[in-house]
């Protein structure tokens, strides 16, 4: 597939819609409010930039926010629980339709694969005393294979 995931999902405006819808839910969720109740107003934009870069879009998160090391530092010592990780992912998936992101199976499977992987990394990075790697880069997530195609 020549089209990037970023292009397929509709670019930065689609990700901005998604993060606005999603973080509107997160702010008032009883499980997540302790982590996100006081988040800065620009947090959804930061996450939109992160997701854009992950899915093959512009590298603005790295250029403007400091890349992977900045993301890790945002999670250090937050002590994210499995229940919070799971709820965060659940609310994100529930926001896809409302934000108008593609509903095709391959996109949804690819998106879910990244979110499951990424939220587990964020949970690990949030452990009290975790020492982050000194150097790392924002991952570029690949398309999931077609169900009937080569594996």
CATH number assigned to the domain comprising residue 112? 1.10.490.10
Most confident of 1-5, 23-27, 59-63, 66-70: 23-27
Region label for 46, one of left (φ > 0), alpha (ψ between -120 and 50) or beta (otherwise): alpha
* Structural domain count, the chain: 1
Whether 141 maps to a domain, the answer reads: no
Q: Which of 4, 143, 25 is nearest to 92 (CA)?
A: 25
Q: What are the pLDDT digits (tens) for 2-29?
A: 899 999 999 999 999 999 999 999 999 9
Whether 131 maps to a domain, the answer reads: no
Whether 63 maps to a domain, the answer reads: yes
Q: How far apart are CA 20 and CA 66, in angstroms?
A: 22
The rounded percent of the chain whose pLDDT value lies above 70 is 95
pLDDT band at 151 (very low <50, low <70, confident <90, very high): very low
The rounded percent of the chain whose pLDDT value lies above 90 is 64
Whether 147 maps to a domain, the answer reads: no
> Is 52:60 a contact under the CB 8 Å cutoff?
yes
Domain housing 46: 5-125
Whether 101 maps to a domain, the answer reads: yes
Whether 55 maps to a domain, the answer reads: yes
Whether 67 maps to a domain, the answer reads: yes
Q: What average pLDDT score do residues 23-52 get? A: 93
Whether 87 maps to a domain, the answer reads: yes
Could you tell me which residue, 66 or 141, shows the higher pLDDT? 141
Q: What average pLDDT score do residues 82-95 get? A: 97
């Amino acid at each position: 597939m020549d089209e990037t995931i970023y292009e397929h999902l509709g670019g930065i405006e689609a990700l901005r819609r998604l993060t606005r819808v999603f973080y509107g839910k997160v702010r008032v969720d009883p499980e997540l409010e302790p982590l996100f109740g006081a988040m800065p107003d620009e947090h959804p934009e930061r996450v939109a930039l992160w997701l854009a870069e992950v899915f093959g879009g512009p590298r603005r998160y790295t250029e403007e926010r400091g890349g992977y090391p900045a993301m890790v530092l945002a999670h250090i010592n937050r002590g994210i629980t499995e229940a919070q990780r799971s709820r965060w992912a659940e609310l994100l998936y529930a926001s896809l339709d409302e934000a108008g992101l593609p509903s095709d199976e391959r996109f949804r499977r690819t998106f879910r694969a990244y979110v499951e992987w990424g939220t587990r990394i964020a949970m690990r990075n949030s452990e009290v005393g975790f020492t982050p790697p000194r150097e790392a880069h924002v991952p570029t997530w690949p398309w999931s294979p077609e169900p009937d195609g080569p594996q």
